[in-house]
Amino acid sequence: MGSFKSSVFLLVLHFLEGVVSNSLTQLNNNGYEGIVVAIDPNIPEDETLIQHIKDMVTEASPYLFEATEKRFYFKSVAILIPENWKTKPEYVRPKLETYKNADILVAEPNVPGNDEPYTEQMGNCGEKGERIHFTPDFLTGKRAAQYGPQGRALVHEWAHLRWGVYDEYNDKQKFYVSNGKRQAVRCSADISGENVINKCQGGSCVTKSCKVDKVTGLYEEGCEFIPSKLQTVKASIMFSQSIDSVVEFCTEKNHNKEAPNLQNQKCNLRSTWEVIRDSEDFKKTTPMTTQPPKPTFSLLQIGQRIVCLVLDKSGSMSNGDRLNRMNQAGKLFLLQTIEQGSWVGMVTFDSAAHVQSELIQINSGAERDALSKRLPTAASGGTSICSGLRSAFAIIRKKYPTDGSEIVLLTDGEDNTISSCFNEVKQSGAVIHTVALGPSAAKELEELSKMTGGVQTYASDQAQNNGLIDAFGALTSGNGAASQRSIQLESKGLTLQNNQWMNGTVIVDSTVGKDTVFLITWTKQPPQIFLWDPSKKKQDGFVVDANAKMAYLQIPGTAKVGTWSYSLQASSQTLTLTVTSRPSSATVPPITVTSKMNKNTGIFPSAMVVYAKIHQGTSPILRATVTAVIESVNGKTVTLELLDNGAGADAAKDDGVYSRYFTAYDTNGRYSVKVWALGGVNAATQRLIPQQTGAMYIPGWIENGEIKWNPPRPEINKDPESKQVCFSRTSSGGSFVASGIPQSPIPDRFPPCQITDLKAKIHGYTFINLTWTAPGDDYDYGRAHEYIIRISTNVLDLRDKFNDSVQVNTSDLIPKEANSEEVFVFKPENIAFENGTDLFIAIQAVDKSNLKSEISNIARVSLFIPPPIPPETPSPSLPCPEISVNSTIPGLHVLKVVWKWLGELQLPIALG
């Protein structure tokens, strides 16, 4: 096999192709422009926070510039100010900037006192992250002793976000053994410090040297590496940027490849600078010869939501009941999804545009009903998408600038003139959300979403999949208060025969319940509808719209918490049920599910990844049942169970992000994605801090030879609060376009996925116990054919010369089904394994077509045989004294005992 390093590099490029990123940030002549920093609406108004953000970015820019060998700096930043803060003349309306595409979010900590800066990273090494999180106390400098200057911490987080590198420390394992010596996990290994423990009792603390655990050979629990304040080492920023001398990333020359940290585990021992060098940013820049300018800032304040529906009513919309299905989805959007206080207009188009409604502000149900009545009732004519867009811009400009407005564009037809208005769209500052309906919708449609940061969705003609309603349900505000957003609890459909029943349940949990709507659609005749609340009380009062073939019930007040049951009966037609609601409280965050694909385009045989993030506020929801349904343009659906197990496509275990590879391509064209999430008896919300990447908490510093401890870190991972939750949610994951798929039968071109969670332990000083999560035949689906396990005493030899390393006998190891736990115990042979030996292990999975996975993360064991405990020298055995129970005189009794005892020892006795 060739160099593993080069094969990993090719894999990274393979996965980076078309990676989805919501960010508006662009790299222009070495400068990052369009960065969005959003202040959460729940943060009390504090103008000084804006200045702190400016100071942080201004401090960070020259540090980033020098750290990247004069390649990158921060050029322009937009600060998104909440709508509920006071307005000022210098605050302008955003264009494409929203909370959804913010690069940095400033929000209160998920647990009080936990002000750790961190970055959400869903993907693998080299893939862009999702968002950086800072707290107000961090920004104001109250945590500088623990995390260092804010500007330096921003550069640490930017490397996570932009280049997909990982931390070079390890809070879970702070020390390791190398060649029989204990080392702190750090990079570079030249960073100096002391290994000490702070033992506190009764209000007083004493610093002591760490003791060695005689079983593991590592230091005792609680031992910390305290760095010296004065250092000369320049690397590395991903270990601790807060050390004054650290101004560089680790390179291949000074990278500590042995340290058990996430950077080594996820990036196959490559240094952070090697990963950065492989990035697209690096490839399209050259070092600058002059100093960069200071960053510029724009202050943007969220305003009222402005939306214009642009709906296709061309002749092809009469096919497959499309026009009626569009109206059903549009009516739900107008009745429920669009938030109170928003401005809404409507345009339809065929060969030309038709204004159905000027902008109307949604203040009550009357405006919602009035707009619903403007939905088109007949389909005819051609398709002129640009006419519809231009008409929408004109409607909006009558009241507001188009900056920051939104257009929902739905079409089922082709239009070869669509590119003629691309420049107008770019200049408008409007966000275009696209809904492609049916197999023939314009191929250029997605370009409108990509260039404006809008949502792209696809709905097939299979009514039972409820794709159109899901697409419109996904169009909640990117900026509005979370308490006002519509949340979809259920979305199901079924084609019934011979008076069959469609039965089911929907869970209304305590975080939702306001404005709850049950919507039922049909294709022929109204069905029988039965709905019972959790107390088994039958709910009546459905509003029936026979023309639109739909009925809906709005639950007054707040819907009862618990399980609602429904039964629908019909014959020879398709029914759908959709349930939406809003948060029950303005202060308690609701459980939310957001789903997405890792790329907008899939090119065979590239695997796609589907993600679903389930959180309540910033707390992850664990142990939910999460299912993705992916539908091709042919109407074929594939169901995937998404997992939060830290294996396969899932980057981190128990972080509330559920993931899975998708390889079951059916045909070229569009695919839609929908996610169901169900929380049952095992689901729990935890105030546990999941594995996250961020600046290291420094426990203390050595200054002038004296250890100065920082305040202890909040103990948020010990005895975490765990609350059982039952809930149901559905979420649209948008759509993607697949290409390059060969004619059926599709050949097997998918290898098993890389094993990323290999762990090794010494068992009885002789055997090694391995555990990992089984990959599949095709990435993480099915069953691999065999495993190849190799070992080496040199970590780089194992990585770069895997095929030349010693192979372990695995003839008795039969792979299990994907995502099962694998356990394998072996005794190292043909290799020296004695006290002090460091042994490195890696696995490669092979499928039935002899396709091989990438080599696993490299696990390490260090054989430590504790020295024998010297026998204790026995003390002289003294005979027991004889006690005369007949002695009645106390003094005489003691004298007799002593006299007899000394006599038996034959010691001289002197009496005086």
Question: What torsion, rounded to 10 degrees, do the Cα atoms 62, 65, 70, 74 define?
Answer: -100
Strand-strand pairing, 722-724 and 175-178: unpaired
Q: What share of the chain is helix, strand, coil (3-state, %, to 5)?
A: 20, 35, 45
Return the axis-axis angle of helices 150-163 and 48-67, rounded to nearest 10°. Answer: 70
For residues 470 and 673, give the distance between their C-alpha atoms in angstroms, rounded to a whole number: 10
Q: Count the Cβ atoms, other than its own, within 10 Å of residue 451.
A: 13
Q: How far, in Å, are 273, 303, 486, 573, 584 from residue 163 at the CA level?
A: 10, 33, 34, 51, 39
For residues 337 and 348, give the distance between their C-alpha atoms in angstroms, rounded to a whole number: 20
> Which among 524, 480, 565, 154 is positioned nearest to 324, based on CA atoms?
524
- If you count them, how many residues does the chain have? 912
> Which among 452, 730, 450 is positioned nearest to 600, based on CA atoms?
450
For residues 827 and 824, give the distance between their C-alpha atoms in angstroms, rounded to a whole number: 10
Do the beta carbons of residue 613 and residue 593 sit within 8 Å? yes
Q: How far, in Å, are 258, 567, 761 from residue 862 at the CA level?
A: 12, 62, 9
Options 157, 258, 274, 406, the catalytic residue: 157
Active site residue 83: no
Dump the DSSP string for 449-460.
HHHHT--EEEE-
Task: Quote the tokens at residue 564.
Answer: 């609602």
Residue type at 891?
G
Q: Count the Cβ atoms, other than its own, within 10 Å of residue 811.
A: 6
For residues 651 and 649, give the distance between their C-alpha atoms in angstroms, rounded to a whole number: 6
Task: Quote the tokens at residue 909.
Answer: 């006795």
Q: How far, in Å, are 111, 252, 365 from residue 617 at the CA level?
A: 11, 39, 29
Q: Count the Cβ atoms, other than its own, within 10 Å of residue 272.
A: 28
For residues 695 and 692, give the distance between their C-alpha atoms in angstroms, rounded to a whole number: 10
For residues 675 and 627, give the distance between their C-alpha atoms in angstroms, rounded to a whole number: 6
Do the beta carbons of residue 602 and residue 544 sit within 8 Å? no
> Which among 463, 460, 472 is positioned nearest to 522, based on CA atoms?
463
Task: Quote the tokens at residue 104.
Answer: 């940095």
Strand-pair partners of 300: 80, 92
Dump the DSSP string for 403-460.
TT-EEEEEE-S--TTGGGGHHHHHHHT-EEEEEEESTTS-TTHHHHHHHHT--EEEE-
Catalytic annotation, residues: 157
